[in-house]
Amino acid sequence: MDDQPEGRPAAPDPVAPADVPASGTTVALACVRALLRVGSRAEAAQVLHRAIGDLGGEVRTAAAGEVPALDVSLGIGELSVAVAVDGSARVAARLRGWLPILMEDAETAALRCDRQQSQEVRARTDALTGLSDRREGDERLAAARAGDVVCLLDLDGFKALNDSRGHAAGDRALRRFGDVLRDHVRGLDFVGRYGGDEFLVIFTVAPVHVAMRRMWDISAAWAADDPEHAVSVGIALVDDSGPQAAATAADRALYRSKRAGGGKVSLAGPGDRP
């Protein structure tokens, strides 16, 4: 029987078969050390599954309708169970003894990662709209590649709205517009508040005409929500000149839309690039 960590119930661990050389204690200690270094729930699940393998078991997907006593998936993918390889009774006994302990350690590590990731997300999220913030937008813009499309959007008459109805009305408008953006942008694309009443959308490898149509859809949806305040848009394709050049071009196209009276979607031309 393997030695047990202090304060934990003894776990039965018969003499291991030849194909399971590591003791349960050795496996558990290695698992704990590895779990201290994981950065995500998925990594914690990988460590747990490796420990199950080191004990001589294997992880398989639960059968349809099966409700496992211990789901070793850690919430990643489908329900999973740990079973002894080739039905070994000795390995099954090792798993019964050590698996609850390994599961407890893995779930603790996974929860720690969840909290850390949640904090990181909050730190990069605009508190008012729930969209990504300027820092996240700058990082995503810097990572844009040729074929991506950069769109800058600005709410027309926003200052007048704040001045006439107060900042609370302006905040409500920003939140509603954030909802409109989320409803019209794909999950693989980026959407964030870029500052004030300006927003950034980056379409990942999308034809320019598709991005144009999506921006007009957003403009129409916003007009239906707030017919008094339109939205101006500037669009630029990221080419070999890089994403910063595209951002500059989109910004110039945006202000061309505003100078034309607002409520326009303008595509950057060669003269808009620095």
The pLDDT assigned to 18 comes to 43
Q: What percent of the chain has pLDDT over 70?
A: 90
Q: Which of 2, 13, 156, 197 is labelled catalytic?
A: 197
Q: Which of 13-27, 110-124, 143-157 shows the lowest per-residue confidence on average (mean pLDDT)? A: 13-27
> Beta strands 198-203 and 190-195: pairing type?
antiparallel
Res 59 pLDDT > 60: yes
- When pLDDT is cut at 50, 70 and 90, the band that residue 115 belongs to is confident
- Residue type for 201, please? V
The pLDDT assigned to 3 comes to 47
- State the average pLDDT over residues 107-129: 79
3 as an active site residue: the answer is: no
DSSP alpha helix (H) spans, the chain: 24-35, 41-54, 89-123, 134-142, 158-165, 167-184, 208-225, 243-259
The pLDDT assigned to 248 comes to 96
Res 7 pLDDT > 80: no
- When pLDDT is cut at 50, 70 and 90, the band that residue 119 belongs to is low
DSSP secondary structure letter of residue 15: P
- State the average pLDDT over residues 60-68: 85
- State the average pLDDT over residues 140-156: 95
Q: Kindly state the tokens that stand for 217.
A: 């859809």
Cα–Cα distances (Å) from 4 to 56, 57, 94, in that order, read 18, 20, 13
Res 137 pLDDT > 80: yes
Encode pLDDT of 159-170 as tens digits. Answer: 888 877 887 888
For residue 160, count other CB atoms closer than 10 A to its CB: 12
Asked if 269 contacts 246 with a C-beta cutoff of 8 angstroms, the reply is no
Cα-Cα-Cα-Cα dihedral sign, residues 97, 103, 108, 113? positive
The pLDDT assigned to 160 comes to 82
The pLDDT assigned to 14 comes to 40
- State the average pLDDT over residues 127-151: 92
Res 240 pLDDT > 50: yes
| Phi, psi dihedral angles at 173 (to 5 degrees) | -65, -40
CATH of 134-272, one of 3.40.50.1820, 3.30.70.270, 3.40.50.620, 3.30.420.40: 3.30.70.270
The pLDDT assigned to 242 comes to 94
The pLDDT assigned to 201 comes to 97
Mean residue pLDDT across the chain: 86
Asked if 31 contacts 104 with a C-beta cutoff of 8 angstroms, the reply is no
- Domain borders along the chain are 24-122, 134-272
- When pLDDT is cut at 50, 70 and 90, the band that residue 217 belongs to is very high
The pLDDT assigned to 10 comes to 45
Beta bridge partners of 237: 149
Asked if 72 contacts 49 with a C-beta cutoff of 8 angstroms, the reply is yes
